[in-house]
Amino acid sequence: MSQELKARPAKVEDLIEYQEGAVVSKELIRKDTGTVTIFAFDKGEGLSEHTAPFDAMVQVMDGKAEITISGNKNILEKGDMIIMPAGEPHSLRAMERFKMILTMIRS
């Protein structure tokens, strides 16, 4: 667990900054049972299609992204969330700069 955040309030959007032409991530919690990571994507950046052996929930904190799960495209904006089921191929693309929280649960 990120020690500077342990038992202290924080503004999530202030924990990570955008970088031009990049994807930035910061892991907040890492346990055997799952992780919580925040990401900042510059416009046009993304993650190519892949699968994961655990369920993952994306919560968009800022901006707009296209998240494709098993070939189905979804547009998410600030305040939206989506669950990416374990074993299903998924990808992300920033339609504009966006920040997200990724919570992965191993089962």
State the chain's mean pLDDT as an integer.
93
Phi/psi at 3 (5° precision): -65, -35
Strand partners, 27: 37
Place 7 in a pLDDT band, splitting at 50, 70 and 90.
Answer: confident
pTM of the model: 0.91
- Tell me the domain boundaries of the chain: 3-105
Which amino acid would we find at residue 105? I
3-class secondary-structure state, position 66 = strand
Provide the pLDDT for residue 93: 98
Of 3 and 57, the structure prediction assigns the larger pLDDT to: 57
Let me know: does 60 contact 79? Beta carbons within 8 Å.
yes
DSSP 5: G
- Which tens digit of pLDDT belongs to each residue from 41-89? 999 999 999 999 899 999 999 999 999 999 999 999 999 999 999 999 9
Residue 15 CB neighbour total at 10 angstroms:
17
Q: Topology of 3-105 in CATH?
A: Jelly Rolls (2.60.120)
Q: Which two tokens stand for residue 75?
A: 């547009």
